[in-house]
A and B are shown apart, each in its own frame.
Chain A
Amino acid sequence: MAVGQRALEAAGFARPGRLGRVRQWCEQEHVFGYGLILPALLLIVCLVAYPFGMAIYFSLSDYWVGSPGEFIGLENFRQIFRNEVFHRTVYNSFVFTSIAVVLKAVLGVWLAMLLFRTFRFKRLIRGAVLLPWVIPTALSTLAWWWMFDSLYSVVNWTGIRLGLIEAPGPNWLGMTSYAMAAVIAVNVWRGLPFFAIIVLAGLVSIPREYYEAAEVDGAGSWARFRHVTLPLLKPVLAVVILFSTIFTFADFNIVQVLTRGGPVNSTHLFATLAYQTGLVGGNLGQGAAISLFLFPMLAAVVFLQLRYIRRE
């Protein structure tokens, strides 16, 4: 830069005016680069880092809505650990996340394979598959809630008509295991398109030659899937599973709309319990402490998966 300046001056150009100097200063790489990052950084600081810091502060204090609390150390965490409802929530979260993610991964790959074939109205159907992912969750879950309604359940009505279940059918949202099944089903329904579309993109990028070579070697469709498709999909799958695990673990809408954590807390997840305790109940300190439990668990998931991806 400095050399350029001297060269310009030597060539008879006058030193630039004040505006020009500002511009020159801005155009330096270290200034301009940070300038470009600044807006994003501000957003992250204001909307992510600050709330996160506040959450940590709240979790260590006796903070109720409308009543700033004193620092009480780890007391909130101690209380949570003693609470049976929290134990149940931890258990629920793992059951919910593991079953939902496995189902989404298996069904997602399957759906992607189907969509990969050539058939009529391919584009239309590929677009339509995305619908559950596009509709606002709260809205679509309301429809599901109505389908599981104790009095007017469409699910039961259909099942009974088809002779699949005996009248009056299960009380979907009133029995612990059925309620969990219902919540998982809706989550899978909603998350499936995300899996399918990204896996589909992965499938498209696999060169045809591998399949041709495998066929020449006498591989059947299962062998081609196991030895060609799956290994080449692995990196894509790992990323999707990573994202999906985070989304599923932190789910809130589906449970809040369908069961509000009931029956008897058997479907509470971290987010719904934190909402109930902190915002509805007013105990912000404990609510923050509950929601912070998401952090170490998700951090562990991210760490393991990223390490796996890098090794690949």
Chain B
Amino acid sequence: MASTSRRDFLRAAAGAAAGVALAKAPAYAQKRELTFLSWNHFVPASDEELRRQAEVFGKQAGVTVRVDTIAHLQLPAKWAAEAQSRSGHDIVHITGAAPWLYEKSLLDVSDFIDEMGKKYGGWYPFSQESAYTDAGWRGIPWFWISFPATYNEAHFRKAGLKTPKTWDELLRHGTILKKQGNPVGIPISHCADANTTFWSVLWSYGGKVVEADGKTPAINADQTAQVIEWYKELYRDAMEPEVLSWDDASNNRFILSGKGSWIHNPISPYNAAIARKMPIADDINHHTSPAGPGGTHSAPPIQTLGIWNFSKHADLAKEFLRFHFSKENFDQWIMASNAFNHPPLRDLADHPIWAKNPKFAMLPGEAEFAHPRGWPAKPNAAVSLIDVNYILPDMVAKAIAGMPTKRAMTWAEDQVKLAVQGKLETKGKS
């Protein structure tokens, strides 16, 4: 009841605003305007390139394309407001559970997905996991950010070690490297990287946090116990206590300081070393995220695009996205982001920026085993709550501080139960 009246009000307000706008319209015919909402990219040049493409497309099509960018934390509130008032931008940058939450407000983009999939050798598997709802494709995977292992070649050479293929091997190598004075580092603290690595390790050991239904806790299991034991040993034998206080930039500093030998992180430390002309850049290299008994898995950030079904320019929006997803433009956009934006389509990943640099060559392939958080469940609000409350790293930290593993898991299970109860929307609304 309340929501209907509010929606009506917003509609009326929007109508009134449009009326005012019309009244003020100059004599010549107004150009059609396509609008695109995105976040302020961490690499600003990426937004600049997107705006350039918008301008070129606009000139070709005889329309105006406006790209609005806002702080990434504000995006969820903006989606909500636009979906509720059924007005706003045409194309929106969405993440996480948004394709499910706004299933009924987002346009079915299956045709676009099919077309691009055929053109560029198919979408990576995570695409379907992050944008295909029961109603069909409600989002277009846009880009993702690889989360490989970053290591110091010199330290590994000195210890006579090859890069670890498995998490178990990392523990053994790390023990040797720590004795050499070059520990490894995985944050076990309140930071985003701590979550990302934990998901990766848990999946590699065959574990999961919630069942595929997205509601039943599955964390209190033998696989989790194995992971906690692994973390405890890694902490004791291969890491320093500092990992308990790390933030997202600490592991970057750790490897750039020359002390650390191995971290699990995007390629930012290497890029920073190159940009600041630090000699350590020569020693830093990357390798594929380690595997476990359950295979290799990774939980990188995944970004998606949606077109509102109330957009009056849906066809134009697809037309612009076709233009943006052309090989030439997408390549340009990847270049502008300095290889930060990884493509969700196989052939687009075949880009000189990765192919030419042997230290980057393996990065796009990491997409083969990437999943959205919560997998095998669909992304939902509970999963993001588990992440933002740092339940997973806290569980590990408790065990490291001396709490019996079983009890730490029970604690985490209670926390997961709190996250999944109540109104947990896994279906679309508005």
Contacts and interface: CB of A to CB of B under 8 A. Distances in A.
A62 B190 contact: no
A151 B411 CA distance: 31
A118 interface: no
Given A150-B246, A151-B250, A263 B397 contact: yes
B60 interface: no
A265 B390 CA distance: 9
A171 B242 contact: yes
B104 interface: no
Given A65-B76, A79-B422, A276-B389, A263 B245 contact: yes
Contact of B189 (A64, A70, A263, A279): A263
B190 A260 contact: yes
Nearest to B395: A264
Contact of B83 (A66, A69, A75, A149): A66
Contacts of B6: 68
Given A66-B79, A67-B429, A260-B190, A151 B259 contact: yes
A71 to B, nearest CB: 10
State the majority secondary structure of interface residues on A.
loop
Contacts of B421: 79
B212 to A, nearest CB: 22
A95 to B, nearest CB: 18
Given A151-B254, A262-B189, A281-B389, A175 B244 contact: yes
Nearest to B82: A66
A165 B423 CA distance: 51
A177 B381 CA distance: 32
Interface in A173-221: 173-176, 179
A276 B411 CA distance: 19
State the majority secondary structure of interface residues on B.
helix
A264 B388 CA distance: 13
Nearest to A276: B388
Contacts, number: 113
A82 B421 CA distance: 13
B372 to A, nearest CB: 16
B236 interface: no
A264 B384 contact: no
A12 to B, nearest CB: 54
A277 B389 contact: yes
A82 B385 contact: no
B205 to A, nearest CB: 22
A170 to B, nearest CB: 9
A82 B257 CA distance: 43
Interface in B399-428: 401, 411, 414-415, 418, 421-423, 425
B15 interface: no
Given A62-B422, A65-B76, A66-B76, A282 B384 contact: yes
Interface string B249-270: 0100110010100000000000
B80 A66 contact: yes
30 contacts: A62-B423, A67-B425, A67-B429, A68-B84, A79-B418, A82-B418, A85-B389, A150-B240, A150-B245, A150-B246, A150-B250, A151-B253, A151-B254, A151-B257, A171-B241, A171-B242, A174-B244, A175-B241, A176-B401, A260-B190, A263-B245, A264-B398, A265-B394, A277-B389, A279-B73, A280-B73, A281-B384, A281-B385, A281-B388, A281-B389
Interface of B: 2-3, 6, 73, 76-77, 79-81, 83-84, 101, 189-191, 240-247, 250, 253-254, 257, 259, 381, 384-385, 388-390, 394, 397-398, 401, 411, 414-415, 418, 421-423, 425, 429
Which 3 A-B pairs give the minimum distances between C-beta atoms?
A: A66-B80, A174-B245, A150-B242
